[in-house]
Amino acid sequence: MIKLIVGLGNPGKKYERTRHNVGFMLVDALAKKVDAGSWSRDERLGADIAKGQVSGNKIIFVKPTTFMNKSGDVARRVADFYKIEPSEMLVVADDLNLDLGRVRLRLGGSDGGHNGLKSVIENIGEDFWRMRMGIGFNENRVAEDYVLEKIPTSEMSDIERAIDRAVESLISSNIAEPKKETII
């Protein structure tokens, strides 16, 4: 059963609505949908945290206040504090290797070149759920520049639809027992 959902992103206004912050965007949308209430900053855990329920299951929503490559430190601290096993965690991240708007949910796997997922794997192992949000990739661009750009208006509706589909899928499955691998 999923008890902890960690959205990956970078803190601060500079990074809002960038491709690398779609993890934050999805966690915000899900927390809002389930009326998790307001976010509160927990300095000792290094995260903004909200708590809610889906079909009677308590869920902790987390947005690390560290930069992407330190997300695993925060995920580990939060999981340890709340006594949550890696298999009870869902980490949401952007993915250059998925087409824009495509969403994949699965247990385990590699970091796929994503520094945030790499940090989480280094801190808790591979046996956690991950939801990858497709942001596409322009091969004529440097990856680091591409992911840190603001999402163009022409792509935002695809991202928002993908987030809506992912939120509805998580709620309809009660976030309890996701299937081994799901394309949303």
As given in the structure block, the two tokens for residue 111 are 């970091």
Tens of pLDDT, residue by residue over 19-63, are 999 999 999 999 999 999 899 999 999 999 999 987 788 999 999
Backbone dihedral region of 2: left (phi > 0), alpha (psi from -120 to 50 degrees) or beta?
Answer: beta
Distance CA 165, CA 101 (A): 10
The reported pLDDT for the residue numbered 171 is 86
The reported pLDDT for the residue numbered 140 is 82
The reported pLDDT for the residue numbered 175 is 60
As given in the structure block, the two tokens for residue 143 are 């990856």
Distance CA 24, CA 64 (A): 9
The reported pLDDT for the residue numbered 176 is 55
The reported pLDDT for the residue numbered 66 is 96
Distances (CA, A) of 160 to 23, 125, 166: 12, 30, 10
Q: Which residues are catalytic?
A: 20
The reported pLDDT for the residue numbered 180 is 64
Range of the domain at 60: 4-183
CB 102 within 8 A of CB 162: yes
Distances (CA, A) of 27 to 9, 21, 142, 166: 10, 10, 27, 10
DSSP tag of 83: T
The parts of the chain modelled with pLDDT lower than 50 are none
Backbone dihedral region of 76: left (phi > 0), alpha (psi from -120 to 50 degrees) or beta?
Answer: alpha
**What CATH number should be reported for the domain holding residue 67?**
3.40.50.1470
Task: Specify the number of domains making up the chain.
Answer: 1
As given in the structure block, the two tokens for residue 91 are 């980490």
